[in-house]
C-alpha cells in the first residue's frame, strides 16, 4: 500500500479531530465522570458529595437486588444469544437448501434484515399485551396464566421471547450468507464422502460456519446486554420494582429513578469493565480465528 505523506505535521491530527472530539464528548468524558462519581456519595437534594472510596462498589455487590439482577442478566443474555443463534441457523439452513444458486431470492430475503428489527420489536411487545396479546391467549389454552409485569419469571419469559424474536433475523441473514459462501462443490464432495446429512452438517457445514457463529455470538451478547434497554423499558415501565431487569436497565433505574448517582455510576463502571473484557476476548479470538481461503 502507498503511504500518504503529510506536508504539515498537524494536518493528520486536524483530520482526525472531528472523530476524536466526538469520542471525547460522548464517550471519554461521561466515562471519566462515571468513574469519578462512583467514588462519591452524592446528596440528591443539596448537590454535596462525600468521598466514600470503594463503598459504592461493595454496596452494589453486596445488595441482594444487584445479585438477583446480575443472575437474571446472565440467564437472559445466555438464552437470548444461544436461542437466536440456534433458530437463525436452523432457518438459514432450510433457506439455503431452497436458495442454492438462486441469487434473486437472496436479495428479497435481505429485506427481512431492513424491516424486521423495529417492527418485530413492536409486534413482539404487542404479542404479550395482557389484554389483546394473542400469545397470552394462546398459552391460556394450556392452562398457563401468563402475567407479564406481575409474575417475575413470566415477565422474564416475555423479555427473552421478544429479544430473541428481534435478533433472529440478524442471525438468519448472516448465517445464510455464511452458508451460501460454502462452495457447492465442497457440499457435493461431502455428499459423496458421507451418507448421513446430519453428520455432514456437524462435520462440514457447522465448522465452516464457525467464524460467522463466533461473530454473531459476540453481536448477540452485546445486543442482549445493552440494546434491549428500550424493549425492557416498554415491558416494565408502569410496573413496580418486582419485574426482572438487566444490569443496564438497573443502572438507569437506580440513577434516574432512585437518584442514587454514586451507586449507579459504580454499576456502570462494572459494566464498562465487562465490555472491555468482552472486547479484548473478541480481538484475541479474531486474531487466532481460522481463515479459510
Partner 1 sequence: MTTLRIRNAIKQYPNGAQAVKGVSVDVEDGELVVFVGPSGCGKSTLLRMVAGLEEVTDGEIELNGRVVNNLEPADRNIAMVFQNYALYPHMSVRKNLAYGLKNRGTPSDEIDRKVEEAGALLQISEFLDRKPSQLSGGQRQRVAMGRAIVRNPAIFLFDEPLSNLDAKLRNQMRLEIKKLQRRLDTAAIYVTHDQVEAMTLADRIVVLNNGMVEQIGTPTEVYSRPATTFVASFIGAPPMNLIPGELSKGQLHIGAHSMPMNSAHAGPVTFGFRPERAHMNGAASGLAVEIGVIEELGAHRLIHGRVGDHEVTVAQDAELPPPDGRMMLAFNEQDTHLFDPDTGARV
Q: Round to whole Å and give the CA distance between 251 and 260.
A: 9
Q: Is 179 in the site for partner 1 (CB under 8 A)?
A: no
Q: What's the maximum distance between 2 C-alpha atoms anywhere in the chain?
A: 77
Q: Give the x-and-dash track for 209-228 against partner 1 (CB under 8 A).
A: -x------------------
Closest approach of partner 1 to the CB of residue 203, in Å = 7
DSSP state of 218: H
Instruction: Please identify which residue in 148, 158, 168, 208 interacts with partner 1, judged by CB under 8 A.
Output: 208
Q: Provide, rounded to whole angstroms, the least separation between the CB of residue 281 and partner 1.
A: 22
Can residue 115 be called a binding residue for partner 1 (CB under 8 A)?
no
**Least separation in angstroms between CB 97 and partner 1:** 14
Hey, which residues between 226 and 245 contact partner 1 (CB under 8 A)? Answer: none
Closest separation between CB of residue 179 and partner 1, Å? Answer: 14
At closest approach, how far in Å is the CB of 182 from partner 1?
9
State the virtual CA torsion across 86, 87, 91, 96 in degrees, nearest 10.
-20
Q: With binding defined as CB under 8 A, does residue 286 bind partner 1?
A: no
**Helix boundaries (H) for the chain:** 11-23, 29-37, 55-62, 64-99, 103-127, 134-141, 152-180, 184-193, 197-200, 206-222, 229-236, 247-252, 261-288
Restricting to residues 186-205, name those near partner 1 by CB under 8 A: 186, 188-196, 199, 203-204
Q: Are 175 and 209 in contact (CB under 8 A)?
A: yes
The residue range among 6-14, 73-81, 179-187, 234-242 that interacts with partner 1, by the rule CB under 8 A, is 179-187
With CA atoms as reference, report the closest residue to 156 among 102, 258, 214, 224: 224
Query: Should residue 105 be labelled a site residue for partner 1 when binding is judged by CB under 8 A?
Result: no
41 binds partner 1 (CB under 8 A): no
Contact between 102 and partner 1 by CB under 8 A: the answer reads: no
Phi, psi torsion values for 234, nearest 5 degrees: -65, -40
Instruction: Assess contact for 197 and 171: CB atoms under 8 A.
Output: no
Is residue 78 within the footprint of partner 1 (CB under 8 A)?
A: no
3-class SS of residue 143: coil
Residues near partner 1 (CB under 8 A): 183, 185-186, 188-196, 199, 203-204, 207-208, 210, 290-293
Amino acid at each position: 500500500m502507498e503511504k500518504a505523506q503529510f506536508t504539515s505535521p498537524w494536518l493528520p491530527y486536524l483530520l482526525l479531530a472531528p472523530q476524536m472530539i466526538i469520542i471525547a464528548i460522548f464517550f471519554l468524558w461521561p466515562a471519566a465522570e462515571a468513574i469519578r462519581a462512583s467514588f462519591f456519595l452524592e446528596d440528591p437534594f443539596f448537590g454535596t458529595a462525600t468521598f466514600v472510596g470503594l463503598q459504592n462498589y461493595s454496596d452494589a455487590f453486596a445488595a441482594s437486588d444487584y445479585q438477583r439482577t446480575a443472575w437474571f442478566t446472565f440467564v437472559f443474555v445466555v438464552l437470548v444469544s444461544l436461542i437466536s443463534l440456534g433458530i437463525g441457523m436452523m432457518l438459514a439452513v432450510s433457506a439455503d437448501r431452497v436458495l442454492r444458486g438462486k441469487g434473486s431470492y437472496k436479495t428479497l430475503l435481505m429485506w427481512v434484515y431492513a424491516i424486521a428489527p423495529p417492527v418485530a420489536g413492536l409486534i413482539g411487545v404487542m404479542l404479550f399485551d395482557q389484554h389483546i396479546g394473542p400469545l397470552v391467549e394462546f398459552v391460556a389454552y394450556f392452562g398457563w396464566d401468563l402475567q407479564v409485569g406481575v409474575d417475575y419469571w413470566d415477565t422474564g419469559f416475555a423479555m427473552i421471547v421478544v429479544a430473541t424474536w428481534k435478533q433472529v433475523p440478524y442471525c438468519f441473514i448472516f448465517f445464510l450468507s455464511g452458508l451460501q459462501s460454502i462452495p457447492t462443490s465442497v457440499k457435493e464432495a461431502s455428499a459423496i464422502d458421507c451418507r448421513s446429512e446430519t453428520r455432514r452438517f456437524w462435520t462440514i457445514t457447522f465448522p465452516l460456519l464457525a467464524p460467522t457463529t463466533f461473530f454473531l455470538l459476540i453481536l448477540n451478547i452485546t445486543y442482549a446486554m445493552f440494546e434491549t434497554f428500550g424493549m425492557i423499558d416498554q415491558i416494565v415501565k408502569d410496573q413496580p420494582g418486582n419485574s426482572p431487569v438487566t444490569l443496564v436497565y438497573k443502572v438507569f433505574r437506580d440513577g434516574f429513578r432512585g437518584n442514587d448517582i454514586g451507586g449507579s455510576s459504580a454499576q456502570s463502571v462494572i459494566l464498562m469493565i465487562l465490555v472491555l473484557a468482552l472486547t479484548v476476548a473478541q480481538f484475541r479470538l479474531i486474531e487466532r480465528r481460522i481463515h479459510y481461503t
